[in-house]
């Protein structure tokens, strides 16, 4: 009895297991391992818990890490742009940073928190 057979009908190779059954030789596409960042990890957890079918589809197609990396980059850019806009709109500049450091730090932290709240709602958890 052959250990491996090829089925021309569906184009798959099958391997004979110890239980006497043939099982298809299936492999997931190789996906490059990358650090997806803070927002990418948050998106992954959201997809796993709330958008299971999308998560499985991305995982099985080998596009999950690329998707998470894109979400992370988009979210970081969004936060940077919003913080810069809020600082400029409210007149926060380098002079304030030199004259009143603690007030500058407090305001910038506030702008960053506001931007993060918006990015989670508009980019990560959609």
Sketch the domain layout of the chain as residue ranges. 1-30, 32-124
pLDDT at position 66, please?
93
pLDDT reading at 28 higher than 80? no
pLDDT at position 1, please?
59
pLDDT at position 31, please?
76
Rounded CA Rg of the chain: 24
pLDDT reading at 2 higher than 80? no
- Looking up tokens 């919003």, which residue turns up? 82
Contact 76, 42 (CB under 8 A): no
pLDDT reading at 33 higher than 90? no
For the question of whether the overall pTM of this predicted structure is more than 0.85, the answer is: no
Contact 119, 78 (CB under 8 A): yes
- Looking up tokens 């932290």, which residue turns up? 109
Distance CA(92)–CA(83), nearest Å, equals 11
């Amino acid at each position: 009895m052959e250990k491996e057979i090829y089925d021309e009908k569906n184009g798959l190779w099958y391997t004979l297991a110890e239980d006497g059954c043939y099982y298809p030789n299936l492999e997931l596409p190789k996906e490059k391992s990358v650090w997806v960042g803070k927002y990418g990890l948050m998106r992954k957890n959201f997809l796993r818990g709330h958008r299971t079918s999308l998560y499985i589809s991305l995982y099985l197609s080998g596009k999950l890490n690329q998707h998470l990396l894109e979400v992370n980059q988009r979210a970081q850019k969004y936060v940077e742009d919003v913080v810069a806009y809020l600082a400029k709109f409210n007149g926060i500049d380098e002079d304030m940073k030199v004259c009143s450091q603690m007030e500058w730090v407090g305001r910038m932290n506030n702008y960053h928190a506001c931007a993060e709240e918006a990015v989670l709602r508009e980019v990560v958890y959609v």
